[in-house]
Every structure is written in structure tokens, then in C-alpha cells.
Structure 1
Amino acid sequence: MKCPFCQQADSRVLDSRPVEEGAAVRRRRECATCGKRFTTYERLEEQPLMVVKKDGRREPFSHQKLLHGLALACRKRPVSTEELSDLVAAIERQLRQTALAEVESRRIGELAMQLLRHLDEVAYVRFASVYREFNDVHSFVREIEKLGRY
């Protein structure tokens, strides 16, 4: 693994631990040349999962894109980066367990809302407002009333 600071290939692993509910390994490394520390992640290479968008376009599933959308919904909320990474990993795991090569973006949004609801209700409403394209305040009220029923 090349050091991101000096580009030398010699580094040693200081610490390894499972993350994303065991789906990845986080390694803390130290460069043998410059002594700086950096973190790497090791994940299983899987078959590409294609997302079918509302307009019919297809694009590869993006862990980062989903994480970014959820992070925006959780902005200024007491939700850690690790909790969000675990949530995205859980969504991706559920999608891959179907053994389908393609999944509709609607399915990803529904899974995200389902898991986000249990993590943080405010973030859930924020995400739902964008995902479901609320057009007025009544849409917000209806969604918040649904929360009271769960």
C-alpha cells in the first residue's frame, strides 16, 4: 500500500478491526519511510450492482453516493459517521442478498428510509422530504403523523 504522503510502498499495519458489521476491515498503517499514519479499508470485490433510475437510466450502485445523501439528512444530528457507514453497508447487503444484478432506485430509497427511521426520526423526515418530493407542508405533516403510529 503506497503512503498517501510520500508515495513509498513500505508501510506496516498498526491496528486492524472489522467495520460495517464485518463487511470490511479497517487498517491503521504507518509509513516506514516518513512515519506518517493513514487508514485503509479492505472490502470484498463483488459483482457490480446496477441501479435503475426513475427515468430508466442505469448506473452502478455507489456506496459513496448513498452515504452522502444520508449524511445530508443527518447533518447536525447525533448520528456518527460509523452509524451511517453501517446503515449503508446494511442496505447494500440486503440488495446483494436478492442476487439480482439490477435494483430500482425506489427500492434503495425505501430501504434507506426504513433503516433511517429507527436511527433518527428527524433525519428520516429530512430524507423522506427529498426522496418523496414533498410539494407542500401538508405532505410533511402527513409523514410526521405516520411516525407517531410506529
Structure 2
Amino acid sequence: MRCPFCGNPDTQVKDSRPAEDGNAIRRRRQCPGCAARFTTFERVQLRELTVVKKSGRRTPFNREKLNRSIQLSVQKRNIETDRIEQMISGIVRQLESSGETDVTSDRVGELVMEALKELDSVAYVRYASVYKDFHRVEDFREFIKDEHLGAKKGGSGEPSA
């Protein structure tokens, strides 16, 4: 593993342990050249995935890009990092085990939406606002109403949407 700081091609593993419920191995490494320490993760990859965008453009699946988009939706929410990692691993496993090497960006988005709906309703709405391209406040209201995410009781004690 090449050092991300100085580019040294030889780094030493200082510690290894299971991560993500045993679906990955977390390794702490140190560079003998610059003494920097960093962490890497090893995961089983069943197949190379290609994401087919709405425009027809094809790009290699990027787990880190998926992670970044989810991190934006869960920002400042009280959600454990392990739960987010488990969710991402579950999405990737679903994609890899589908038997397809080409997956549409819509399919990826739908899987993220399903997982976020179970994890945190605020993160779910945040992700949906980008994924479904909300432009108006009314788009949020309609989405929340349609998804039955509204408060259980309004100020008057009556159910609200």
C-alpha cells in the first residue's frame, strides 16, 4: 500500500481488526519513510460495477462517492458511524449480488432512499430533496405527506400530514 502522504510504496501494517460486522478488515498502517500513520479498509468485491447515468454515460461504481452523498444527508444527525457503514455495505452487497454488472443511477438512488427511510426520516427527506430535485417548499410538503413522515399529532391534538 502506497503512503498517501509521501508516496512511499512500502508501508507497514501495525494493527488489523474486523470492521463493518466482519465484512471488512480495518488496518492501521505506518510509513517507514515519513512515519505518517493512516487507516485502510479491505472489503470483498464480488464484481466490478458500472453505473449508467440518466444521460447514458457510464462510470465505475465508487463506494466513496456513495458514502459522501449519504454523509451529506446524515450531517448533524445523531447516527452512529457504524450504522451508516453497515447501511452502505448493505447497499453495495445488494448491487453486487444482483447479478448485473451495470446498474442505473436510479437503482442506486432507490436503494439509498429505502435504507435512509429505515435509518432516519430527516436524512431520508434531505437525500430525497436532491435525488428527486425539489425546487419549492411545496415539494417538501408533498413528499412528506406522500411518505407519511409528518408529525403524529398537530398542535390541536389532531393528526396532521
TM-score scaled to structure 2, two decimals?
A: 0.78
Distance 1:2 1:57 in 2: 31
In structure 1, distance between residues paired with 2:128 and 2:44: 31
Per mean C-alpha deviation after superposition, the further-off stretch among 28-37 and 82-91 is: 28-37
- In the alignment, structure 2 segments of 5+ residues that lack a partner are 151-161
The residue aligned with 2:120 is: 120
Larger radius of gyration: 2
DSSP-derived class of the 2:83 partner? helix
Shift of 1:20: 2.8
- Aligned 1:16-95 pairs, distance under 5 A: 16-30=16-30, 37-95=37-95
Deviation of residue 78 (structure 1)? 1.3
Structure 1: unaligned runs, 5 residues or longer:
none
Identical-pair percentage: 45
Q: Helix, strand or coil: the match of 1:147?
A: coil
SS in 1 for 2:149: helix
Task: Give yes or no for contact 1:8–1:33 (8 Å, CA) kept in 2.
Answer: no
TM-score between the two structures when normalised by the length of structure 1: 0.83
Cα 1:67/1:138, change in 2 over 3 Å:
same
CA distance in 2, matches of 1:148, 1:5: 45
Measure, in 2, the Cα distance between the counterparts of 1:52 and 1:40: 28
Tell me the CA shift for residue 134 of structure 1.
1.6
Distance 1:10 1:60 in 2: 27
Structure with higher RCO (Cα < 8 A, 6+ apart): 1
Q: What is the letter of the counterpart of residue 23 of structure 1?
A: N
